[in-house]
Structure 1
Amino acid sequence: MKNTILLKNRPVGTPQLTDFEFTEEQVPELKEGEILLETKYVSVDPYLRGRMSDAESYIEPFEVNKPIESGIVAQVMESKNSDFSKGDFVSGVLDWKIRQVSTGKDLHKVDPDMAPLSAYLGILGMTGLTAYMGLTEIGKPKKGETIVVSGAAGAVGTVVGQIAKIQGLRVVGIAGSDEKVDMLKSEFGFDDAINYNNTEDMTKAIAEACPNGVDVYFDNVGGDISDAVLFNINQFARMVICGAISVYNETSLPKSVSVQPFLIKKSALMQGFIIFNYMEKFREAIQQLGQWLKEGKLNYTETIVDGFENIPQAFLDLFSGKNKGKMVVKL
């Protein structure tokens, strides 16, 4: 049985199914201090595209003909490690394998009674942490301000919008379909939302949705949408650069509006970040997110795909916007 997924080729442009290879690997015998894990949920995320290229980045690239890894929730099937017991559920960055052996390093136990297991890859995992840290540490939202969120119907975007609402902001989302626009307003409490696929003039549409201008921009997409936001920023605006999915698969440098005149004119801040910048604050962030979830102040949506064999396709589907909220694969 093929139980492991390797990176077969480094993609050029948009990844293809042929860039992945299914293979069979033997699961080694457990040694003292090790645990045997069985994968339950796998996270697929846009940032994995960057790791498929052999380019300098904030995280090491994947090796060709080696397993791909991402956030995974797994169950301990056998343990020779005193910190873990058979039956425990854990979360961490693990290989795309059905079963694997681990020392337990950098794995965290998760409680299936507190939230569904898949939530630990989303709202109570890297997704929630990314939204919380980016917004609070860089966006520094203030009650009464206006925030625009691009990629708003995605995993991070839906959480950013809800946290901003909790903190008293006017929240405007940008998404790629009327269905997603409706979802943002009806399920996640966004004040307004824009479908960029049927909007001819994004700069004007943002101005109409944000009559008092834009104080915080949480950017998940880059490209033309982010250019349009620049024309609407207020004095001392903060732009949180979380992702740039619109340009991840470009094979040439995209042409874009020069940001410097906007930043100077508006004394605005634009800052990129990676979640690992804020590791020392993870515990308090997860506690706060968990509290809001318990109080019913946070809602979340998932796109759950069934089957180990469908992990590569689920990843590819991110780039055509087929997910609502967090995309996870259930084994």
Structure 2
Amino acid sequence: MSDLINKQILLKSRPVGEPKESDFALTETPISQPGEGEVLSRTIYLSLDPYMRGLISAGESYAANVELNSVIVGGTVSQVIQSNHPQFQAGDFVLSGNGWQTYAVAKGETLRKLDPSQAPLSYSLGVLGMPGLTAYAALLDIGQPKAGETVVISAASGAVGAVAGQIAKIKGCRVIGIVGSDDKRDYIVKELGFDVGINRKTQELDAVLKAAAPDGIDIYFDNTAGVILETVLQQINLGARIPLVGLISEYNAISLPHGPNLRPLLIKRALIKGFLVSDYQHRTNEFVSDVAGWLKSGQLKYKEDVVVGLENAPCAFIGLLRGENFGKLVVKVSEDPTVV
């Protein structure tokens, strides 16, 4: 066991604007041994998510910033190598927060055992993990969709938006998705069943949105803020609800952008509420049961964008913030023994 080498990606410097590969450093170090109540595990899949951009910056965030020369945080699916915790044994698969590294030691109470017969292991980082719970809880608890209502989703082909849009369809809503390419527009309409797809880069958003939602917008599931939010606000209905789950348009900004005109929120008595998935962990069991059922029945579809090799995580993460990924972005760090 002592001859195992742990590869880690550290934060070398805090990005200014768009991250650069030089902001990250790949290092190798001997693995640590688990203490009492701890588990040593090997990373199989690493999740890459937009929220990580805020945690590697110098600005205040909702969670602790990554320290310089420290391993970058991130959700992982891992296999237990050695356990000093009674609930885990070697060979178990676990959902963990081991970050950008090939091996990690963690306290057993921070891990959740996974059943590989329920779904592919990597799904626990996406549709059955944090992004899926974000879509599920933000839409159902804040958006409170009702059959016949019109729902608009930004970043609609992404890990969160694609699930939120499909759940809205399951609840009987008319769903409009905003994306950044024709391929993504075709995907959300033809594969996921959205009623309308809008390419924000090639179509005039205000006019197309008015044509797609002639009776106004009841729910805006906001992953981006910025110009899209500003446009949507002009078309919201009385009593509209806006789950604010992401600020993708601002993550690489050097200075804060000008905010939208919030006057329609007052006039339309709309609800806009910030969402942090950590506040909704109590919904996990219900969420996994519902979403796993929808996946099994075919009511919900899921797409992954898999990058192979921990060393490729920085480049993939930079591309994620540019919108280059297509589906939930994960890094395959080591072989998945459940895949034949």
Alignment match of 2:302 (pick from 281, 300, 303): 300
TM-score by length of 1: 0.97
Note the C-alpha offset of 1:257.
Answer: 2.4
The CA distance in 2 between the partners of 1:47 and 1:170, in whole Å, is 28
Contact 1:311 1:329 in 2 (8 A): yes
Equivalence map 1:209-228=2 (5 Å): 209-228=212-231
Note the C-alpha offset of 1:193.
Answer: 0.7
Answering whether residue 36 of structure 2 is matched by residue 41 of structure 1, we say no
Note the C-alpha offset of 1:2.
Answer: 6.6
What is the letter of the counterpart of residue 302 of structure 2? Y
User: Which residue in the other structure is 2:167 paired with?
Assistant: 163
Query: Which 4+ runs in 1 deviate beyond 6 A?
Result: none
The CA distance in 2 between the partners of 1:190 and 1:95, in whole Å, is 34
Contact 1:37 1:99 in 2 (8 A): yes
Contact 1:164 1:171 in 2 (8 A): yes
Contact 1:35 1:104 in 2 (8 A): yes
Q: Give the aligned length.
A: 329
Residue by residue over 1:79-113, the C-alpha shift from the partner in whole angstroms, topping out at 9 and shown as x without a partner, is 23221111100002113111122222311011111
SS class of match (2:186): helix
User: Which residue in the other structure is 2:108 paired with?
Assistant: 104
Contact 2:143 2:241 in 1 (8 A): yes
Contact 1:90 1:109 in 2 (8 A): yes
Between the aligned residues of both structures, percent identity stands at 47
The CA distance in 1 between the partners of 2:243 and 2:11, in whole Å, is 31
User: Which residue in the other structure is 2:337 paired with?
Assistant: none
What is the letter of the counterpart of residue 207 of structure 2? K
Contact 2:11 2:67 in 1 (8 A): yes
Alignment match of 2:186 (pick from 179, 182, 185): 182
In structure 2, list runs of 5 or more residues that go unmatched: 334-340
Answering whether residue 319 of structure 2 is matched by residue 312 of structure 1, we say no
User: Which residue in the other structure is 2:147 paired with?
Assistant: 143
The CA distance in 2 between the partners of 1:31 and 1:56, in whole Å, is 33
Residue by residue over 1:104-135, the C-alpha shift from the partner in whole angstroms, topping out at 9 and shown as x without a partner, is 23110111111011100000000110000100
Answering whether residue 81 of structure 2 is matched by residue 77 of structure 1, we say yes
Contact 2:6 2:31 in 1 (8 A): no
Contact 1:4 1:96 in 2 (8 A): yes
Superposition RMSD in Å: 1.2
TM-score by length of 2: 0.94
User: Which residue in the other structure is 2:129 paired with?
Assistant: 125
The CA distance in 1 between the partners of 2:18 and 2:73, in whole Å, is 19
Contact 1:156 1:325 in 2 (8 A): no
